[in-house]
Structure 1
Amino acid sequence: MNTGATRTELPAPVGVGFAVLALASLAYGLVTGQLLLGLLVVAVVGLFVYLYFLLHRLVVAVEKIAHKL
């Protein structure tokens, strides 16, 4: 079993990817005149990123418990 330090934060590409997708969605919403749809897409993607973050924290917690056993 790996005894190295576990990573507790999300990888940086996740945040960068969300920011790029959010800006692209808002730009597309402004260009097409459907800003509400763009905001909805950003909100849904943000929700999935948050759920991914919670899942990541759960995995890290389980790994820490497993290392202590």
Structure 2
Amino acid sequence: MISYHNGAAIQASAVRMGNLFIARASILEEDGEATSLGDLGVFANKKGACRFAVRCAAAFIDGDVMPLPPCRIATA
């Protein structure tokens, strides 16, 4: 899914890992610079993961504090 915010293109995606979806976002700015925000959070569905990725990318573009994911999974 590609969205636009303040002249930058945001490509949000959700990668499936078992029964979960990991939110990810990449940003392409007007000057051609690309930024990947990496893994942003874990979600139960793809739609929620993509929406969260867009929110994080918009906050990053605006220079705001990025939102925290609703839950975190501890790795052993």
TM-score normalised by L of structure 2:
0.33
Larger Rg: 1
Greater share of helix residues, 1 or 2? 1
- What TM-score, normalized by structure 1, do the two folds share? 0.36
The structure in which a higher percent of residues are strand is 2
